[in-house]
Chains A and B, each alone.
Chain A
Amino acid sequence: MDYLYSVMANMGMIAFVALSAYLLLVVGQISFGQQGFFAIGAYVAGICTAVWQLPLSLAILAAAAVAGLAGVMLGLPTLRLRGLYFAISTLAFGEMVRLLLNLFHYRVDIDGEAVGPEGAEGFRGIRYIFENDVSQLDYVLLIYGLLGVVLAGFFVLEHTRLGSIFRMIGEDELAASMQGIDVTAFKLLAAALAGFIAGEGGALFAHFTTYLEPKNFGVMLGVHSLVYGLIGGLGTALGPLVGVAIDIGLLESLRWLSQYRMIVFGGLVAVLLIFRHRGLLDEELVHRLRASRRPGLDPPDTPGRPDSQSAAAVSYPPPTATEAPMLAIDGITMKFGANLVLNDLNLEVASGQAVGLIGPNGAGKTTVFNILTGVIPPSAGSIRFQGREIVGRPTHDIVQLGLARTFQNLRLFKRMTVFDNVWSAQHRLPGMPVWRIVGHDRVAERARRARVYELLELTGLLDKADVLAKNLPLGESRRLELARALAREPQLLLLDEPTGGMIPRETDEMKRLLEGVIASGKTLILIEHKMDMIMELCDRIVVLNFGEKICEGPPGVVQADPKVIEAYMGLENDDVADGRGT
Chain B
Amino acid sequence: MQILIDVVQNFLDGIMVGSSYALLGLGFSLTFGVMRRVNLAYGSTILIGVFAGSTLLRLMPGQPILALLITIGMTVVAGIYVERLCFRAIPQEAALASMVSSFAIWMQLDEFVIQSPWSQTYAYPFPSPFDLGSLEFGPFAARIDYLLMWFSALAVMLALWWIVYGTGFGRSMRAVSNNIDGARMLGLNVNKINFRAFLLASVIGGLAGYLIAVSQEQVTPHLGLWATIKGLITMIIGGMGSIPGAIVGGLLLGIAEIQAGWFLGAEYRELVAYLLLFAFLIFRPGGLFGRTGGDGIGTDAQRV
Q: Which residues of A contact B (CB under 8 A)?
A: 25, 28, 30, 77-78, 81-85, 87-89, 91-93, 95-96, 99-100, 102-103, 120, 173, 219-220, 223, 226-227, 230, 259-263, 265-267, 269-271, 273-274, 277-278
Contact = CB atoms under 8 A, between A and B. Distances in A.
B301 to A, nearest CB: 3
Contacts of A84: 32, 38, 240, 297-298, 301
B101 A273 contact: yes
A83 to B, nearest CB: 3
Residue in A81, A220, A227, A273 whose Cβ sees the most chain B Cβ within 10 Å: A273
Contacts of A92: 274-275, 277-278, 281
Interface string B23-47: 0000000001000001010000000
B101 A263 contact: no
A91 B96 CA distance: 16
A550 B301 CA distance: 39
A85 B104 contact: no
A103 B274 CA distance: 15
A263 B111 contact: yes
Given A85-B294, A269-B104, A120 B97 contact: no
Interface string B106-119: 11111110110000
Contacts of B285: 81, 85
Contacts of B181: none
Nearest to A100: B271
B281 A81 contact: yes
Nearest to A271: B85
B96 A230 contact: yes
Contact of A270 (B101, B225, B275, B301): B101
Contact of B271 (A78, A96, A223): A96
A270 B104 contact: yes
Nearest to B285: A85
B281 A82 contact: no
A568 B59 CA distance: 76
A227 B102 CA distance: 11
A219 B114 CA distance: 19
Contacts of A30: 96, 99, 304
B200 interface: no
A477 B156 CA distance: 50
B105 A266 contact: yes
Nearest to A269: B104
A78 B111 contact: no
B90 A83 contact: no
B66 interface: no
A269 B98 CA distance: 11
Ordered nearest first, which 3 A-B pairs have the shortest CB separation?
A266-B108, A83-B301, A262-B111
Secondary structure class of chain A's binding surface, majority of residues:
helix
Interface in B228-260: 229, 232-233, 236, 240
A273 B105 CA distance: 11
Contact of A278 (B86, B97, B225, B229): B97
Nearest to B270: A99
A89 B32 CA distance: 17
B229 A219 contact: yes
Contacts of A100: 271
Contacts of B112: 263
Contact of B302 (A28, A89, A259, A263): A28
A267 B101 CA distance: 9
Contacts of A85: 236, 281, 285, 294, 298, 301
Contact of B298 (A82, A89, A262): A82
B267 interface: yes
Contact of A88 (B110, B271, B275, B281): B281
A277 B233 CA distance: 27
B132 interface: no
Contacts of B274: 92, 95-96, 99
Given A223-B103, A266-B105, A270-B104, A81 B298 contact: yes
18 contacts: A28-B302, A82-B299, A83-B302, A83-B303, A83-B304, A88-B232, A92-B275, A96-B278, A100-B271, A102-B267, A103-B267, A227-B100, A227-B103, A261-B111, A263-B115, A273-B97, A273-B101, A277-B94
Contacts of A89: 277-278, 281-282
Contacts of B103: 223, 227
A459 B277 CA distance: 50
Residue in A220, A230, A266 whose Cβ sees the most chain B Cβ within 10 Å: A266
Contact of B301 (A82, A102, A261): A82
Nearest to B86: A270
Interface string B262-304: 0000010011001101100110010000000010011111111
Contact of B281 (A28, A78, A223, A274): A78
Given A223-B103, A260-B111, A266-B109, 18 more contacts: A78-B281, A81-B281, A82-B298, A83-B304, A89-B281, A96-B275, A99-B274, A173-B302, A219-B225, A263-B108, A263-B112, A266-B107, A267-B105, A269-B100, A270-B105, A273-B90, A273-B104, A277-B90
B277 A88 contact: yes
A553 B189 CA distance: 49
Nearest to A228: B100
Contacts of B294: 85
Nearest to B298: A82
A223 B99 CA distance: 11
Contacts of B115: 259-260, 263
Nearest to B40: A223
Contact of B100 (A77, A261, A273): A273
A81 B282 CA distance: 8
A82 B298 CA distance: 5
A31 to B, nearest CB: 12
Contacts of B99: 30
B300 A266 contact: no
B89 interface: yes
A192 B96 CA distance: 23
Nearest to B111: A262
Interface string B70-107: 00000000000000011001110010111111011111
B91 to A, nearest CB: 8
B114 to A, nearest CB: 8
A265 B107 contact: yes
A189 B167 CA distance: 49
B300 A83 contact: yes
